[in-house]
């Protein structure tokens, strides 16, 4: 077996021109698929993930197909590397998971994912040469208080954004990150959501990085076992 | 169908680590997704670290890096030491010249 049916996403069964991938429809749902050489997916390494490495090219393409669907219809992105035996298997899957998939599609319809990263403001380095011991200790205390303030500030940002999102999820923090979260936002609430990000982080002097809009990758973490 | 505006790390993190997982007979996973997912986490973490390294404002900030104080103190000592050696050498040469 050297060829298989790569599955990108589940969506509603509509006319979509995807310039390559096509839809296998069943009772109103569809699986977005393309025939692929399985060799392309073996031995992928992430050791040097540059833009032109095989994994990066395949992942970018996977994302591009999911996005092309996402521009027109609600979408459930499938995990990278999902390959089916053939059309029969695709139909069996859609048939067995019809209710669940339909419910998940309703849940993400009209909503887009936004990533938000918040960091503390940058600070001037302390110049020890021109500083007395007392002045240093005072500055140190000020900075400790400031660290507490930005932490609670980041928590306040999350609470405010959570209110403006349909769903949210926080990731583990690393390095100097104070908040790393994804929000599933109704399109009609996006303007308000972004205004709130700018307003709050501006007021609190926090550095913020926003990514998106994304298809609802972080909100479709669901496992479909086939029948 | 291209999206170069998102960083590779962000895209990999979502494509490899998120989304619907199909398990069972009909799904043939040709990629060792678990392994790749693990690696993408490492990559995302290191990309973030690298980004932070570019803004390494705290490494010389004695508040965040107490060693910076030690480093500064050590540098000062070394400089003072060098200066004293220099002055000693000048004095020794002067003494040498005055010797009959």
How far is residue A128's CA from residue A146's CA, in Å, rounded to a whole number?
Answer: 20
Which residues on A lie below 8 Å from B27 (Cβ)?
7, 82-84, 93, 226
Answer yes or no: do A173 and A77 share one domain: no
| Interface touch B19/A128, C-beta < 8 Å | no
- Domains in chain A, number: 2
| Interface touch B3/A64, C-beta < 8 Å | yes
Range of the domain at A40: 3-109
Which residues on B lie below 8 Å from A227 (Cβ)?
24
Answer yes or no: do A66 and A133 share one domain: no
> Given a cut of 90, is residue A185 above it in pLDDT?
yes
Answer yes or no: do A61 and A128 share one domain: no
How far is residue B87's CA from residue A46's CA, in Å, rounded to a whole number?
Answer: 58
Which residues on A lie below 8 Å from B10 (Cβ)?
115, 211
What backbone torsions phi and psi does residue A204 show, to the nearest 5 degrees? -90, -5
> Given a cut of 70, is residue A48 above it in pLDDT?
no
* Chain B: residue whose CA lies nearest to A176: B52
What's A161's domain CATH number?
3.30.70.600
A42 inside 8 A of chain B by CB: yes
- Residue of A204, A214, A206 whose CA lies nearest to A70: A214
Size of interface A-B (CB pairs under 8 A): 170
> Which of A85, A109, A133 delimits the end of a domain?
A109
- pTM of the predicted model as reported, rounded to 2 decimal places: 0.76
Domain for residue A222, yes or no?
no
Which residues in chain B show pLDDT less than 50?
Answer: 1-4, 54-64
Percent of chain A past pLDDT 70, that is, above it, reads 97
Answer yes or no: do A98 and A117 share one domain: no
ipTM: 0.86
Domain for residue A220, yes or no?
no
- Residue of A87, A107, A96 whose CA lies nearest to A33: A87
Answer yes or no: do A123 and A209 share one domain: yes
Check if the beta carbon of residue B58 is closer than 8 Å to that of residue B65: yes
Answer yes or no: do A115 and A105 share one domain: no
Answer yes or no: do A140 and A75 share one domain: no
Q: Which residues pair with A30 in a beta bridge?
A: A11, A25
Answer yes or no: do A167 and A88 share one domain: no
How far is residue A6's CA from residue B27's CA, in Å, rounded to a whole number?
Answer: 10
How far is residue A117's CA from residue A96's CA, in Å, rounded to a whole number?
Answer: 38
pLDDT confidence of residue B60: 47
User: How distant is the Cα of A16 from the closest Cα of chain B, in angstroms?
Assistant: 14
> Given a cut of 80, is residue A193 above it in pLDDT?
yes
Identify from B31, B33, B53, B79 which residue to disrupt to test chain A contact, counting A C-beta atoms within 10 A and taking the largest count.
B31
Helix (H) or strand (E) holding A205: none
> Which of A109, A140, A162 delimits the end of a domain?
A109
| Interface touch A59/B52, C-beta < 8 Å | no
Spell out the residues 6+ positions from residue A101 whose beta carbon is closer than 8 angstroms to its own.
A10, A29, A76, A94, A224
pLDDT confidence of residue B27: 61
């Amino acid at each position: 077996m050297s060829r298989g049916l790569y599955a990108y996403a589940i969506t509603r069964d509509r006319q979509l021109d995807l310039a390559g991938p096509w839809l296998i429809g069943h009772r109103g749902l569809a699986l977005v698929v393309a025939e692929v050489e399985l060799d392309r997916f073996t031995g992928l390494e992430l050791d040097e993930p540059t833009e032109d490495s095989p994994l990066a090219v395949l992942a970018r393409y996977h994302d591009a197909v999911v996005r092309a669907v996402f521009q027109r219809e609600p979408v459930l992105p499938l995990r990278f590397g999902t390959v089916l035996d053939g059309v029969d298997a695709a139909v069996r899957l859609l048939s067995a998971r019809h209710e669940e998939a339909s419910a998940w599609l309703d849940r993400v319809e009209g909503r887009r994912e936004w990533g938000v990263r918040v960091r503390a403001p940058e600070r001037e380095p302390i110049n020890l040469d021109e500083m007395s011991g007392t002045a240093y200790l005072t500055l140190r205390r000020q900075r400790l208080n400031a660290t507490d303030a930005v932490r609670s500030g980041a928590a306040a940002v999350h609470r405010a954004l959570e209110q403006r999102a349909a769903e949210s999820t926080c990731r583990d923090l690393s390095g100097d990150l104070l908040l790393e979260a994804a929000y599933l936002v109704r399109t009609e609430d996006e303007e308000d959501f972004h205004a709130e990000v700018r307003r709050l982080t501006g007021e609190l002097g926090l550095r913020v990085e926003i990514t998106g809009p994304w298809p609802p990758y972080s909100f479709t973490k669901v496992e479909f076992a086939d029948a | 169908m291209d999206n170069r505006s998102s960083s590779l790390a962000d895209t990999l993190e979502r494509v490899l680590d998120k989304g619907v997982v199909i398990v069972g007979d009909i799904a043939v996973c040709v990629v060792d997704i678990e392994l790749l997912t693990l690696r993408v986490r490492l990559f995302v973490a290191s990309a973030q670290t690298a980004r932070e390294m570019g803004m390494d404002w705290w490494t010389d900030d004695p508040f965040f890096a107490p060693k910076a104080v030690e480093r500064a103190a050590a540098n000062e000592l070394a400089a003072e030491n060098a200066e004293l050696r220099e002055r000693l050498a000048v004095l020794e040469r002067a003494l040498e010249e005055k010797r009959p």
